[in-house]
A and B are shown apart, each in its own frame.
Chain A
Amino acid sequence: MKVVGALTALLLASTTLSASAETLRWARAGDSLTLDPHAQNEGPTHTLAHQMYEPLIIRDHSGAMQGALATEWAPKADDPTVWVFTLREGVKYHDGADFTAEDVVFSINRAKSEDSDMKELLTSISEVRAVDDYTVEFVTDGPNPILPSNLTNLFMMDKGWAEANDVVKVQDIEGGEKTFASTNTNGTGPFKLISREPDVKTVLTANENYWGKDEFPLDVTEIVYTPIQNAATRVAALLSGEVDFIQDVPVQDLGRVAETEGLVVKTAPQNRVIFFGLNQGADDIANDDVDGANPLADVRVRQAMSMAINRDAIKQVVMRGQSQPAGMIAPPFVNGWTAEMDGASKTDVDAAKALMAEAGYEDGFSIQLDCPNDRYVNDEAICQAAVGMLAQIGVKVNLDAKPKAQHFPLITNNQTDFYMLGWGVPTYDSEYIFNFLVHSRTDERGSWNGTGFSNADVDDMIASLASETDLDKRNATIQSIWNVVQEEQLYIPIHHQVLNWGMSNKVGTEVSPEDDPKIKFFTMN
């Protein structure tokens, strides 16, 4: 019996030994901007942080919410303006300190401070208080039914560590010097930082004391993360076996990767819609040949332009099948999305011509389309395709494509009449879309609404969503706002972008719609 026991132990030891050296070499186009978890609100930055830090709630690879540092969360029974979070017990930071309610209070207040880039997601929170070591209450000004979905990228830091290392304040990018927290980490997450050279290489190792050791595969024991900016080089690194896992596989290389033995490409719809915005609000627009009037102000023109766009052709020719034609500017994961609205955009050139004639533009008009050329998958090529399609109904489009750094200010500064934009919805709720893209432009809302659309009733409805706790009523309001957006043809939806991850066949994972792999879910064999 003893011998069997010893043998089993030996076997177990040898299997853990072989499993103990699973290195995942991972490459994507960009690097994290900083290790301070509250300084930047940006995809690659959050993705790296997720390996080392944890929020109260995370989204798993299907996009569903899952407790991380919180085990339960619900509005307080007698007071809808208070959310109660029950924290996981026995969680330790990498340096051995206990995770408690004090840390949550500290982290939220830190993320609400002025230099934080996360504060816009927390504006409704007026107070965070620790009831006891493992219970935290979030007080909001008015009920906030979707508060938890704003917390999925909000990482918890250790109060004692932050105080000891003088990083209570968030890294101030324009003012202060580099801080301890921007180059060091102390989280509760499944991986610990070993070394970091920004833009070159980041090495993480498994956290032996991770609370979720038995709950997640945690097959990967070491992560070597290297940004490789050039798409051809990134694919070459995967083909030559120098990396095991890459994000952002260019569509023209998908076939090559998939046909290579030992490699697989996994594809899933991304949480991002690509669409055109139209300046309907101006009396006259600058870059057209119609004097004294704005053709885009006529809903029939906007509808005709939408009908002229052949989304299936864009999918086949420009995207090589890697897109999903869209009829609304919400991705399918988002609360408020309906299949009916998403299928609404149909191509019908004859009907579009008739609408143009009805609106008085049977001879068409000319207009400038502003398009990015380094932001979305094949962005410029999509715009080029649209130019040809719109020409069929007499809309002569002059395409102006430029880098995103020059393109986006045109939208936020109201300097474009016809533009491409893509939008992801990290909160998985339509309110997020309405706040930025539909609400009139004010100091607080509508910062990405370049359409000039402004409707006081719609604004009121959008504002009411923030504190409506009756979810049925709230969803009804969301639907009526969508109806206005669709009827007004506020935007011309093109497609839902599709994500591609390329990997060695020993790596097991599904593509997450946010493009943020959480390595603790990965299997290796």
Chain B
Amino acid sequence: MLAYIIRRVFQSALVLLVVGLVAFSMFSFVGDPVDNMLGQERTQADIERLRSDLGLDQPFPVQYWRFLEQAVQGNFGLSYRQGRPVSEILMERLPATLELAFVSGVLALLGGIGFGIFTAIRKRGVAANTIMTLSLIGVSLPTFLIGVLLIYLFSVELGWLPSFGRGDVTRIGDWWTTGFLTESGLKALILPAITLGLYQMTLIMRLVRTEMLEVLRSDYIRFARARGLRDRSVHFRHALKNTLVPVITITGLQLGSIIAFAIITETVFQWPGVGLLFINAIQFVDIPVMAAYLMMISVMFVGINLIVDLLYFAIDPRLRVDRSAGKTA
């Protein structure tokens, strides 16, 4: 077990290094930060001075090495756009994204598992068919469009919910701000959370349904029924447990994508999280922020993968035979 963990951590570090290299080499195609940083009235002399101050005149390996050196110490430099330490800006923005991801994750999980079980048990009912049809919309409509449609319906036409922002937030401790404690904060969460969670919800729902149908056809369920166990017990005690193994894997991986794909939702709803920060950074060619964000996301994905693998171990004893070393997902 320990050897396995050590091996996984080593692999993870390697992945991060490669991600860093790829991300960093991409920055040369994003544009020239100097152009945005100096006003319209800049001279050639200003441009050259700034380039050398930022170290942009150095060759690529030197720039990458400097970046690694600093990043290992948790220092991602100063944002070109805001002139503040990147780590500080990220910490300031992270609560908004995590809260949004958490709420939409819970929504997706509860809704997904609930609807999934329902459509599996009542597979021929009208309600189940309606849900299945509607779920196609969730899978096929782009996030952007769902967001705009929700805004149009609930903010502009009905005037029930805010179309942008996070509402009033309460500060907890030094750097965590939460929208859970105020009415406007909770209201502001609803539309973005639905927008962000809808796709994941339909995905989980379809997964649960398929798995459940599969499990319900298996022999031990038939035996359970033959023993005269009640439906409730068969469905929820015996079938559900075995359905959840793949669901946990997918959910874990999807949680990562919820945070990563929050970019679009955050842009539509002006949600002040790290995704919106990243979009701003791209437009301004704010390399330190982009680098830190990409590293953060990859650390997260690598970490989630690790946790999912370990959870797998805990849930399914058959996997404890050490054969998963080659599987890095």
Contacts and interface: CB of A to CB of B under 8 A. Distances in A.
Interface of B: 29-33, 35-47, 49-50, 53-54, 78, 80-85, 88-89, 92, 148, 151-152, 155-156, 159, 162-166, 267-270, 272, 276-277, 279-280, 282-285
A408 B35 contact: yes
Interface string A170-182: 0111110110001
B283 A403 contact: yes
6 contacts: A114-B49, A171-B83, A173-B37, A197-B272, A240-B163, A447-B42
A406 interface: yes
B127 to A, nearest CB: 33
Contacts of A408: 32, 35
Contacts of A229: 267, 270, 276, 279-280
Contacts of B42: 120, 447
A185 to B, nearest CB: 15
Interface in A19-68: 27, 33-34, 39-42
Interface stretch (A137-145, A158-166, A436-444): A436-444
A227 B280 CA distance: 12
A34 B83 CA distance: 8
B41 A41 contact: yes
A441 B42 CA distance: 12
A409 B31 contact: yes
Nearest to B77: A174
B80 to A, nearest CB: 7
Contacts of A374: 283
Contacts, number: 148
B164 A233 contact: yes
Main secondary structure of the interface of B (DSSP, over half): helix
Contacts of A177: 78, 84-85
Nearest to B46: A120
A412 interface: yes
A132 interface: no
Contacts of A443: 43-45
A373 to B, nearest CB: 12
Nearest to B96: A200
B82 A230 contact: no
A447 B43 contact: yes
Given A174-B50, A229-B267, A447-B42, A406 B30 contact: yes
A412 B54 contact: no
Interface string A82-117: 000000000000000000000000000000001001
A405 B285 contact: yes
Given A197-B272, A412-B47, A444-B45, A236 B152 contact: yes
A3 to B, nearest CB: 44
Contacts of A240: 155-156, 159, 162-163
Interface of A: 27, 33-34, 39-42, 114, 117-118, 120-121, 171-175, 177-178, 182, 197-201, 226-230, 232-234, 236-237, 239-242, 374, 403-406, 408-409, 412, 424, 436, 441-445, 447-448
A182 B46 CA distance: 22
Nearest to B55: A174
Given A405-B284, A409-B31, A200 B272 contact: yes
B24 to A, nearest CB: 17
B155 A236 contact: yes
Contacts of A39: 83
B159 A33 contact: no
A39 B80 CA distance: 12
Nearest to B84: A178
Contact of B166 (A27, A200, A232, A234): A200
B164 A405 contact: no
B53 A199 contact: no
A120 B45 CA distance: 11
B111 to A, nearest CB: 25
A291 B38 CA distance: 37
A435 to B, nearest CB: 9
Q: Which 3 A-B pairs have the closest CB atoms?
A: A405-B31, A41-B39, A120-B41
B156 A233 contact: no
Contacts of B85: 177-178
Contacts of B31: 403-406, 409
A241 B162 CA distance: 10
Contacts of A436: 40-41
Contact of B268 (A226, A233, A409, A448): A233
Contact of A120 (B35, B43, B283): B43
Contact of B277 (A199, A406, A444): A199
B130 to A, nearest CB: 29
Contacts of B46: 120
A132 B142 CA distance: 66
A41 B83 contact: no
A447 B39 CA distance: 12
